[in-house]
């Protein structure tokens, strides 16, 4: 007997989240206590839950600690201080936390351990303007990039070159202490230098790369940013820098882990899974059309596998914002996918951010069933108009299709599942 579609899709998402849970992923990678003191720092949407796992399971004594996470993603801890700050646009609280983290790192010696907890979202949360730049400079550039359709690799290339802590600079500040970074990936390809803009990782990109990206997306820059990117101090720490010799960067959880956990759950439910990829990028609407094409191939020809099956994928799509609506890349993906499938009675789908957030609203993403299309067509404003206005949140709010999980306190990118019934 086939599972209930709604419960099945949500079960897949829950299994993906559990596979990325810091409570499960952090403890196996905790280092041995040092001869000197242990200081814990971190940044990202999973920072508070990673810090809790350290406090619960670390065998040494934590001398001091500070992590910065997104608003509403904090947790009460004993020794490690948790600061909540702005994301995706940085704010003064993030700047203050980043400055304090640099201070903690710079006070260490070769006998000490700096344990860094890094996860997606850290780029905005750990924002410390470089050189003579101000937080207002960063905010303006970041807002423009968010609307431009730039990929996470491009976005973070720019952020690293405007920062005083990203692009390996936190490792440089650590004075040769043993630095262990436990990293949860939220980027396609799991490039450690891109996750949270790589504060502990050597960076192969250059200021010239950042300038090219800004020019290509026609981002208007204040003179202060233009001047900064021409200065030698704007360059990041390179992979062969001597300051990285005592640094261990350890990937402890990735999008692939989440997809494989969901696939295992599908098999338990008697549904054959196919993982299409963990690093799928592109405009959300374009990815939606590709996924719809694969779905139609399954429905008509039983290829690349016969129904009942579930097509699972991860990665991070982008949205070039031209309208004035509310939404995010997951709900926009699903809106375009739904319009192409036109309510096929055998197709159900879910697309959500594993951090519990899709854009700036309160939803993780959305879910569709065969009747969702009919509901949408019965609205005074048709689905195509919602899509043109980048207003996918409002559409799914009207059709009772929003998925609201609240903050998950982890982040391994987006999760998509298309369930095709037999």
Q: State mean pLDDT over 139-151.
A: 94
What pLDDT, on a 0 to 100 scale, did the predictor assign at position 153?
94
In a domain, 129, yes or no: yes
Q: Report the chain's C-alpha Rg in angstroms.
A: 22
**253, 273, 307 - which closes a domain:** 253
Could you tell me whether strands 80-85 and 62-70 are parallel, antiparallel, or unpaired per DSSP bridges? parallel
Q: Give the separation between CA 28 and CA 257, rounded to whole angstroms.
A: 15
**320 is in which domain, residue-wise?**
5-16+256-420
Say if residue 216 is in the same domain as residue 319: no
Longest dimension (CA), the chain: 68
- Beta-carbon-side half-sphere exposure of residue 24 (alpha carbons within 13 Å): 12
Which residue, 193, 63, 89, 81, is CA-closest to 145? Answer: 89
Are both 204 and 277 inside the same structural domain? no
Same domain, 129 and 143: yes
Q: Which two tokens stand for residue 21?
A: 């849970």
Q: Is residue 198 part of a domain?
A: yes
pTM of the entire predicted model: 0.93
CB 371 within 8 A of CB 305: no
Q: Would 21 be classed as within a structural domain?
A: no
- Of the residues 213, 238, 253, which one is the last residue of a structural domain? 253
CATH of the domain at 137: 3.40.50.10180
In the predicted structure, residue 16 carries a pLDDT above the cut 80: yes
Element (H, E) at 347: strand 347-353
Q: Give the separation between CA 93 and CA 24, rounded to whole angstroms.
A: 29
266 in a structural domain:
yes
Nearest to 152 by CA among 195, 93, 117: 195
Are 212 and 291 contained in the same domain? no
Q: Is the pLDDT of residue 360 over 90?
A: no
- Domain presence at residue 22: no
Beta carbons of 233 and 131 less than 8 angstroms apart: yes
In this structure, the answer to whether residues 311 and 240 fall within a common structural domain is: no
Query: Could you count the other beta carbons within 10 Å of the beta carbon of residue 76?
Result: 7
Q: Are 51 and 129 found together in one domain?
A: yes
SS3 24: helix
Task: Verify that 247 and 106 share a domain, yes or no.
Answer: yes
Domain boundary among 253, 279, 310: 253
Question: Sorting pLDDT into bands at 50, 70 and 90, what band is 194?
Answer: very high
Environment class of residue 135 by beta-carbon count within 10 Å: exposed (0-12), middle (13-18) or buried (19+)? middle
- Between helices 207-216 and 152-161, what is the axis angle to 10°? 130
Adjacent-strand bridge partners of 313: 277, 416
pLDDT digits (tens, 9 = 90+) for 28-50: 999 999 999 999 999 999 999 99
Residue pointed to by tokens 């069933």: 369
What integer pLDDT is reported at residue 34 of this predicted model?
98
For residue 387, the model assigns a pLDDT of 98
Query: Does residue 25 lie in a domain region?
Result: no
pLDDT at 240: 97
Torsion of CA 334, 260, 345, 304, to 10 degrees: 100
Alpha carbon 34 to chain centroid, angstroms: 31
Amino acid 123: pLDDT: 96
CATH number at residue 293: 3.40.1480.10
Confidence of residue 224 (pLDDT cuts 50, 70, 90): very high
Is 157 domain-assigned?
A: yes
pLDDT number for residue 359 = 81
Tokens of 79: 């020794």
Closest to 174 measured CA to CA, from 39, 310, 29: 39
CB 412 within 8 A of CB 13: no
Please report the pLDDT score of residue 188 as a whole number. Answer: 87
Q: How far apart are CA 163 and CA 142, in angstroms?
A: 12
> What is the pLDDT, as a whole number, of residue 2?
77
Q: How confident is the model at residue 208 (pLDDT cuts 50, 70, 90)?
A: very high
Residue 26 scores a pLDDT above 80: yes
Residues 143 and 205 in one domain: yes
Q: What is the pLDDT of residues 263-293, one digit of tens each?
A: 999 999 999 999 999 999 999 999 999 999 9
**Euclidean distance between CA atoms 280 and 138, whole angstroms:** 28
Q: Identify whether residues 213 and 303 lie together within a single domain.
A: no
Mention every residue, 6+ apart, whose C-beta is less than 8 A from residue 79. 55, 62, 64, 65
Domain membership flag for residue 26: no
Is residue 103 located within the same domain as residue 170? yes
Which two structure tokens, joined as six digits, stand for 146?
A: 């968010």
- Give the span between the Cα atoms of 226 and 219, in whole angstroms: 11
**Pair (240, 157) in one structural domain:** yes
Give the E-state strand segments of 243-329 in sequence order: 247-253, 272-283, 309-318
- pLDDT, mean over the chain: 97
pLDDT at 256 over 90: yes
- What is the number of structural domains in the chain? 2
What count of other Cβ atoms lies within 10 Å of the Cβ of residue 11? 18
* Pair 232, 320 in one domain: no
- Here the tokens at position 156 are 């973070």
């Amino acid at each position: 007997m086939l599972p209930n579609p709604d419960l099945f899709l949500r079960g897949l998402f829950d299994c993906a989240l559990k596979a990325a849970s810091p409570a499960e992923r952090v403890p196996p990678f905790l280092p041995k206590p040092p001869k000197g003191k242990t200081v814990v720092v971190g940044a990202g949407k999973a920072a508070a839950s990673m810090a809790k796992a350290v406090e619960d399971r670390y065998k040494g004594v934590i001398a001091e600690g500070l992590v910065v996470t997104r608003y509403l993603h904090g947790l009460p801890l004993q020794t490690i201080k948790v600061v909540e700050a702005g994301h995706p646009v940085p704010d003064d609280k993030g700047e203050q936390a980043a400055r304090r983290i640099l201070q903690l790192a710079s006070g260490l010696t070769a006998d000490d351990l700096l344990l860094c907890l890094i996860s997606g979202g850290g780029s905005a949360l750990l924002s410390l303007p470089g050189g003579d730049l101000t937080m207002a400079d960063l905010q303006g550039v970041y807002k423009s990039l968010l609307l431009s359709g730039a990929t996470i690799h491009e976005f973070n290339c720019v952020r690293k070159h405007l920062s005083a802590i990203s692009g390996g600079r936190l490792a440089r500040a650590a004075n040769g202490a043993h630095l262990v970074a436990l990293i949860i990936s939220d980027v396609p390809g799991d490039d450690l230098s891109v996750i949270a803009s790589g504060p502990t990782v050597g960076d192969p990109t250059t200021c010239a790369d950042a300038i090219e990206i800004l020019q290509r997306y026609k981002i208007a820059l204040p003179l202060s940013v233009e001047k900064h990117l021409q200065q030698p101090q704007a360059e990041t720490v390179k992979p062969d820098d001597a300051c990285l010799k005592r640094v261990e960067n350890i990937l402890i959880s990735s999008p692939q882990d989440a997809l494989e956990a969901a696939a295992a759950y599908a098999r338990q439910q008697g549904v054959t899974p196919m993982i299409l990829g963990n690093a799928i990028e592109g405009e959300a609407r374009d990815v939606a059309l590709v996924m719809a094409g694969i779905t139609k191939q399954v429905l008509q020809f039983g290829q690349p596998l016969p129904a009942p099956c579930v097509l699972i994928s991860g990665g991070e799509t982008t949205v070039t914002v031209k309208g004035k609506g509310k939404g995010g890349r997951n709900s926009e993906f699903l809106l375009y996918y739904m319009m192409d499938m036109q309510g096929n009675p055998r197709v159900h789908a879910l697309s959500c951010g594993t951090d519990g957030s899709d854009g700036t609203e309160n939803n993780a993403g959305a879910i569709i069933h065969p009747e969702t299309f009919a509901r949408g067509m019965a609205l005074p404003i048709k689905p195509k108009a919602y899509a043109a206005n980048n207003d996918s949140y409002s559409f799914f709010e009207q059709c009772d299709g929003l998925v609201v999980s609240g903050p998950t306190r982890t982040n391994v990118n987006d999760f998509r599942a298309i369930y095709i019934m037999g």
